[in-house]
Structure 1
Amino acid sequence: MTQEINLKSEITATQTGQRLDQTLADLFPDYSRTRIKEWILDGSVTIDGDVSNKPREKVLEGQIVVVGATLVEETTAKAQAIDLNIVYEDDHILVINKQAGLVVHPGAGNSDGTLLNALLHHCPGIELVPRAGIVHRLDKDTTGLMVVAKTVEAQTHLVSALQAREITREYEAIVLGSLISGGTVDEPIDRHPTKRTHMAVVYSGKPAMTHFRVAEKFRAHTRLRLRLESGRTHQIRVHMAHLGHTLVGDPVYGGRPRPPKAVTPEFFDVYMNFKRQALHAIRLELAHPYTCEIMSWQAPVPEDMVILTKALRKDTEDNPSSIL
C-alpha cells in the first residue's frame, strides 16, 4: 500500500538563507525533519522546478518548493485480529486501555500477537505510519492508557508533543515499604552494565524524571500516583527500585515476593498470586493533533490491582499497631 504526498509553498523573506531541510520542516510541520531529509535525498523535492537533493542548500525569497513523495508501508508485520479495549477513536488518533500480557511491539520472542499486529488489523492504512502509529509504549504486563496515531501527520505532532513534555501520563502503582510523602526521582537511565535485559540508574544514561505522591498507606506497602516527565524503558520500575521501593509483583526488579509477617491465609494467597508489576497507566491528557482540543481520559484500575488493594487495606486494619 502507498500514499502520494504533494506539497507546495513559496519561500518567504524571513526564510531566506535558511537550510532547505529546516525550511521544509517549518513549512510542512505535519512531517518530521527526518522524513523531509529522506525526501530531499531521494530526489522528491524541487526548487523552481529543479531537483534539489542537498538538505543544506540555502533557499531564497520567492522560490517555489514542491514535494512529490510516496509513503510506503513501514512494517512487514502481519495483521491479526486481537481484541482491543478502545477508549476513544477518530480519523486521527486511537486511545486504548491495554490489557496485561499484551506486548506492544514485535521483538525477540514475540514475533506476533502484539499490539502492533492488532493495530494493522483494526486500522487499514496504518501500515504507512512508522511503528504502526505507536508513539509510546507500556511494558507487557503494565496495563492502561496508550495513544496511537492513525496518520503520519498525527504521529509527527504527538511525537513532538511527547518530546516537549506536553502529554500528561499518570500511573497508579503499589510498592513495597511505607513512604511518608511524595517526591521526585531525577536519575538517568540506561541498560544495566551486566544484565542486558534490565535497565538501571546509570549516570552516563539518558535523563529521566518521575514525580510521585502517596495515595494510600498500608501496613508495609504504599499506593502511589506517579507522573512521567520522560519515557525511558522501565522508568517507573527502575526509579522506584532505586529508592528501595520496588513494585509489588515486579519479576525483574522486585525479586521474590515478600509478604508482611503475620498475614492471613487469604492475604497470602492474593499476594503470592499477583504475578505482574502492580502498575497501571490511569490517566492520559493531550492536545488533539488536528483540532488542538485538550482531551483527557481515565482508565479504571484493573480488577487484579483492586483485589490486591482491598487485601492490603484489610491487612492494615487487622494489624493497626504494625504500620511501618
Structure 2
Amino acid sequence: MTQEINLKSEITATQTGQRLDQTLAELFPDYSRTRIKEWIQAGAVYVDGMVQTKPREKVLEGQEIEIEATLKEEIKAEAQAIDLDIVYEDDHIIVINKQAGLVVHPGAGNSDGTLMNALLHHCPEIELVPRAGIVHRLDKDTTGLMVVAKTVEAQTHLVAALQAREITREYEAIVSGTMTAGGIVDEPIARHPTKRTHMAVHHSGRPSVTHYRVAEKFRAHTRLRLRLETGRTHQIRVHMAHIGHILVGDPVYGGRPRPPKKATPELMEALNGFKRQALHAVRLELAHPFTCEIMSWQAPIPEDMVALTRALREDTKAHPAEY
C-alpha cells in the first residue's frame, strides 16, 4: 500500500542562503526533516525542474521547489483483531485507554498480539505512518491514555509537540512508604550498566523530569498524581524507586510487597495479588494537530487499582492511632 505525494512551493527572500533540507522543513512542516532528507537523497526533490540530491545545497529566492515522492508501507507487523478501548477518534488521531498486558510494539518475545497489530486491523491505512502512528509508549502493564496519529502529518505535529513539552500526561500511582509532600525528581536516566532490561538514574543519561504530588496517604503507602515533562523508558518507575518510594507491584524495580504491621487480611491479599506496577495514565491534554483545538481526556482508574486503594483505606481506618 502506497501513497503518492506531490508538493510545490517557492523559495522566499528570507530563505536565501539556507540549506535545502532546512528550507524544505520550513516549507512543508507536516513532514519531518529526516523524511525530507531521505526524499532529497532519493532524487524526489526538484529545484527549478532539476533533481537535487544534496541536502546541504544552498537555495536562492524565487527557486521553484517540487517534491514527487511515495510513502511506502513501513510496518511489517500483521493486522490482528484485538479489542481496543477507543475513547476518541477522528480522521487524524486515535486516543485509546490501553489495558494492562498489552505490549505497544512487536519485539523480542512479542512478535504479535501488540497494540501495533491491533491498530493495523482497526485502521489499515495507518501502515503508511511510521510505527503505525504511535507517538509515545506505555509499558506493557501500565494502563491508560495514549494518542496515536493516523497520518504522517499528524504524527509529525504530535512528535514535535511532545518534544516541546506541549502535551500534558498525568498519571496515578500507588507507592510504598508515606510521603508528606509532593516534589520534583530531576535526574538523568540511562540504560542500567549491567542489567540491560533495566533503566537507572545515571549521570550519563538523558535529562528526565517528573513532577508529583500527594493525592492520598495511608499507613505505609501513598497515592500519587504525577506529571511527566520528559518521556524516558520506565521514567516514573525509575524516579520513584530512586527516591525510595517504589511502585506497588513493580516486578522490575519493586521486589516483594511491603505491608504495614498488623495489616488487615484484605490488604495482605490485595498486595500479594497485585502483579503489575500500580501505574495508570489518567489524563492526556494536547492541541489537535489539524484544528489546533485544545483537547483533554481522562481515563477511569482501573478496577485493580480501585480495589487496592479501597483495601489501603480500610487498613488505615482499622489502625487510627498509627495514622
Q: Does the pair score TM above 0.5? A: yes
Question: How do 1:91-240 and structure 2 match up within 5 A?
Answer: 91-240=91-240
For structure 1, the 5+ residue unaligned runs are none
Secondary structure in 1 matching 2:124: coil
Partners of 2:278 and 2:108 lie apart in 1 by: 24
* Counterpart position of 2:43: 43
TM-score if structure 1 supplies the norm length?
A: 0.99
Per-residue deviation, 1:271: 1.4
**How far off its partner does 1:268 sit?**
1.0
Residue 260 of structure 2 aligns to a residue whose secondary structure is coil
Aligned amino acid, residue 160 of structure 1: A
Offset of residue 264 of structure 1: 1.9
* Per-residue deviation, 1:226: 0.2
Residue 219 of structure 1 contacts residue 320 of structure 1 at CA under 8 Å; is this kept in 2? no
Distance 1:202 1:71 in 2: 39
Aligned to 2:271: 271
Other-structure match for 1:82: 82
Shift of 1:207: 0.4
The residue correspondences of 1:44-59 to structure 2 (distance < 5 A) are: 44-59=44-59
Deviation at 1:96, TM superposition (A): 0.1
SS at 1:268 equivalent: helix
**1:144·1:281 contact (CA, 8 Å) conserved in 2?**
yes
- Structure 2 letter corresponding to 1:179: M
**How far apart are the structure 1 equivalents of 2:194 and 2:56?**
41
For 1:210 and 1:229, the matched residues in 2 are separated by 6
SS in 1 for 2:270: helix
Aligned equivalents of 1:78 and 1:285: distance in 2?
30
Question: 1:226 is aligned with what amino acid?
Answer: L
What amino acid maps onto 1:294 in structure 2? I
Structure 1 vs Structure 2 CA RMSD: 0.5
In the TM superposition, what is the alpha-carbon distance from 1:318 to its structure 2 partner?
Answer: 0.5
Residue by residue over 1:261-286, the C-alpha shift from the partner in whole angstroms, topping out at 9 and shown as x without a partner, is 10122221111101110000000000
Unaligned runs of 5+ in 2: none
Q: State the percentage of identical aligned residues.
A: 81
AA matched with 2:194: T
Q: Name the SS of the counterpart of 2:262 in structure 1.
A: coil
How many residues get paired?
A: 323
Paired AA for residue 53 in structure 1 = T
In 1, the alpha carbon distance for the partners of 2:191 and 2:241 equals 15
Structure 2 residue aligned with 1:259: 259
- What is the CA–CA distance in structure 2 between the aligned matches of 1:66 and 1:15, rounded to whole Å? 16
What TM-score, normalized by structure 2, do the two folds share? 0.99
Q: Give the structure 2 partner of residue 29 of structure 1.
A: 29
Check conservation: 1:10, 1:65, Cα contact below 8 A: yes
* TM-fit CA distance, 1:320: 1.6
The superposition leaves residues 135-182 of structure 1 with CA deviations (integer Å, 9 ceiling, x where unpaired) of 100000000000000000000000000000000000000000000100
Indicate the larger mover: 263-272 or 236-245: 263-272
Alpha carbons 1:21, 1:56 under 8 Å: kept: yes
- My pick for the range that moved more, 256-265 or 47-56, is 256-265
**How far apart are the structure 2 equivalents of 1:274 and 1:80?**
29
CA contact (8 A) 1:282 1:298 kept: yes
Check whether the contact 1:133–1:151 (CA below 8 A) recurs between aligned residues: yes
Measure, in 1, the Cα distance between the counterparts of 2:264 and 2:115.
39
Paired residue for 1:290? 290
Q: Which amino acid aligns with 1:123?
A: C
The runs of at least 4 consecutive aligned structure 1 residues that moved more than 6 Å come to: none
Instruction: Give 1:99 deviation, angstroms.
Output: 0.2
Kept in 2: contact 1:116–1:131 (CA 8 A) = yes
